[in-house]
């Protein structure tokens, strides 16, 4: 059997490795960390910096194809790896999707709607940008690189101390976005194979809390067929435009008038797609394996309406620890833990998925299951 290499070793790499090993592959993961969620289930864990080209070359020589579970690997590193093994998705996809300014400009060049935005390289440019039409005195300032889970962004108003806001990001480039008055947020998880074959999950309805994904529901309780079709088309257009092979998630805002606006792209499995593990014929991680290995793609048929709730480190503050027994007492609820040793506030530790007759019932059930984690344990 072949050996698959993964750049990154968090929970996305872990669930990829589980899917890959089930299909008979060996998995080797690469990241700067030891004892990682993905390393625990992989055949081998490489520890090295993402700019340690000697170590990256050794890793690349040991594997047959490389994929990634996070996008912040430099294009130079990916190109170095490509001397030894194909990287899917490739350097061009990362170049665009790992950098907010490039991503926004690329979407604009494709005629795809985004929030109104301005690229900002200094506090003076920020002061200019805040009054641009569409931004109109308030926006969200986001670092061009490295942000996730709302880290690396700050809400700014014309009357704020803009120099302080600029300095707080400690970056040399950021994007100032106008606030989108959205009705709700959706995501579409696309899968594209080596021959350009395309499948899709979603749209999935996403609810955030403190800028972190909290609950995802699929299918969304109410969604007109036009919006659904447009969201799927956008995902396809983006994956084809980037010639992406593997998984790519498009995060969307739905405006009150129904217009779809692309928030950002993630060229990898996505948190909102975790419910595909229990609720779909083939999950997003299995599809990543299939796509990057040039296998036929699996079915994205949904088996049951489903809802997923993230488990952050906060749950470990429950007296006596999380009451797993109580949550698992609900027979249509599934538990996934990522094997992270230290629960920290805001850190994604695992998730619950509930399956039900309707999306509304699934959402209610998954929220109830999560609340049960806080109930007192019986001795």
Q: Which is nearer to ligand ATP, 211 or 367 (CB)?
A: 211
Q: Which is nearer to ligand ATP, 45 or 363 (CB)?
A: 363
When binding is defined by CB under 6 A, the residue of 28, 69, 264, 278 that contacts ligand ATP is: 264
Backbone angles phi, psi at 125, to 5 degrees: -65, -35
The H or E element containing residue 306 is strand 306-312
* CA distances, 376 to each of 276, 321, 324, 372, 373 (Å): 31, 9, 11, 9, 8
Backbone angles phi, psi at 239, to 5 degrees: -65, -40
> Any contact of residue 149 with ligand ATP (CB under 6 A)?
yes
SS3 98: coil
DSSP codes joined into one string, 50-89? TT-HHHHHHHHHH-SEEEES-S-S-HHHHHHHTTTS-BSS
Q: Least Å distance between CB 12 and Mg ion?
A: 13
Stretch of 55-63, 79-87, 172-180, 284-292 contacting ligand ATP, by CB under 6 A: 172-180
Q: Which residue is listed with tokens 């084809």?
A: 240
Which residues are documented as binding site for ATP?
Answer: 100, 142, 147-153, 177-180, 185, 208, 263-264
> Any contact of residue 254 with ligand ATP (CB under 6 A)?
no
Q: Which is nearer to ligand ATP, 20 or 309 (CB)?
A: 309
Q: Which two tokens stand for residue 110?
A: 């494709």
SS3 178: strand
| CA atoms of 19 and 321, how far apart (whole Å) | 29
Q: Which two tokens stand for residue 133?
A: 């039409």
Stretch of 128-136, 156-164, 233-241, 247-255 contacting Mg ion, by CB under 5 A: 247-255
When binding is defined by CB under 6 A, the residue of 86, 113, 150, 298 that contacts ligand ATP is: 150
> Any contact of residue 180 with ligand ATP (CB under 6 A)?
yes
> What's the half-sphere exposure (Cβ side, CA atoms, 13 Å) at 83?
10
Q: Which is nearer to ligand ATP, 255 or 368 (CB)?
A: 255
> Any contact of residue 147 with ligand ATP (CB under 6 A)?
yes
Stretch of 38-46, 126-134, 142-150, 287-295 contacting ligand ATP, by CB under 6 A: 142-150
| CA atoms of 138 and 9, how far apart (whole Å) | 37
Question: Per-residue b/e over 341-354, b at no fewer than 16 CB within 10 Å?
Answer: eebeeebbbbbbbb
> Any contact of residue 211 with ligand ATP (CB under 6 A)?
yes
| CA atoms of 95 and 81, how far apart (whole Å) | 15
Q: Which is nearer to ligand ATP, 60 or 144 (CB)?
A: 144
| CA atoms of 289 and 268, how far apart (whole Å) | 11
Q: Which is nearer to Mg ion, 264 or 286 (CB)?
A: 264
Q: Least Å distance between CB 142 and ligand ATP?
A: 6
Q: Which two tokens stand for residue 255?
A: 């405006």
x/- track of binding to ligand ATP for residues 58-97 (CB under 6 A): ----------------------------------------
SS3 7: strand
Q: Least Å distance between CB 126 and ligand ATP?
A: 15
| CA atoms of 163 and 125, how far apart (whole Å) | 10
DSSP 8-state symbol, 53: H
> Any contact of residue 115 with ligand ATP (CB under 6 A)?
yes
Q: Which is nearer to ligand ATP, 268 or 334 (CB)?
A: 268
When binding is defined by CB under 6 A, the residue of 108, 155, 158, 208 that contacts ligand ATP is: 208
Q: Which residue is listed with tokens 């990916």?
A: 78
Which residues are documented as binding site?
Answer: 100, 142, 147-153, 177-180, 185, 208, 263-264
Cis peptide before 219 (omega within 30 of 0): yes
> Any contact of residue 235 with ligand ATP (CB under 6 A)?
no
Site residues, Mg ion (CB under 5 A):
251, 264
Site residues, ligand ATP (CB under 6 A):
115, 140, 142, 147-151, 177, 179-180, 185, 208, 211, 251, 263-264
């Amino acid at each position: 059997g072949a050996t698959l290499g993964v750049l990154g070793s968090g929970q996305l790499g872990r669930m990829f490795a589980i899917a890959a090993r089930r299909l008979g592959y060996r998995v080797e993961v690469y990241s700067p960390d030891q004892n990682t969620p993905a390393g625990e289930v992989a055949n081998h864990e490489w520890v090295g910096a993402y700019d340690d080209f000697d170590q990256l070359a050794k890793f690349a020589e040991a594997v047959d194809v490389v994929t990634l579970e996070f996008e912040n690997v430099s294009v130079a590193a990916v190109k170095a790896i490509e001397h030894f093994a194909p990287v899917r998705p490739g350097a061009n996809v990362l170049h665009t999707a790992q950098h907010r300014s490039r991503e926004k400009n690329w979407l604009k060049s494709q005629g795809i709607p985004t929030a109104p935005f301005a690229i900002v390289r200094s506090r003076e440019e920020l002061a200019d940008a805040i009054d641009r039409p569409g931004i109109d005195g308030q926006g969200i300032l986001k670092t061009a690189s490295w942000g996730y889970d709302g880290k690396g962004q700050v809400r700014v108003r014309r009357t704020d101390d803009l120099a302080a806001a600029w300095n707080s990001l400690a970056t040399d480039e950021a994007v100032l976005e106008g606030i989108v008055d959205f009705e709700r947020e959706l995501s579409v998880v696309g899968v594209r194979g080596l021959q350009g074959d395309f499948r899709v999950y979603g749209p999935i309805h996403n609810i955030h809390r403190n800028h972190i994904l909290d609950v995802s529901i699929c299918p969304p309780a109410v969604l007109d067929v036009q919006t659904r079709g447009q969201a799927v088309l956008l995902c396809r257009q983006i994956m084809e435009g980037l010639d992406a092979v593997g998984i790519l998630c498009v995060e969307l805002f739905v405006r009150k008038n129904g217009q779809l606006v692309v928030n950002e792209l993630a060229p990898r499995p996505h948190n909102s797609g975790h419910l595909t593990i229990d609720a779909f014929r083939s999950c997003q991680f299995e599809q990543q394996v299939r796509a990057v290995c040039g296998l036929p793609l699996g079915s994205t048929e949904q088996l049951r309406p489903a809802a997923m709730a993230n488990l952050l480190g906060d749950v470990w503050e429950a007296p006596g620890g999380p009451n797993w027994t109580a949550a698992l007492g609900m027979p249509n609820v599934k538990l996934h833990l990522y094997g992270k040793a230290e629960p920290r506030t805001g850190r994604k530790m695992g998730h619950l998925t509930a399956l039900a007759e309707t999306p509304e019932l699934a959402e209610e059930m998954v929220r109830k299951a999560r609340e049960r984690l806080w109930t007192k344990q019986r001795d």
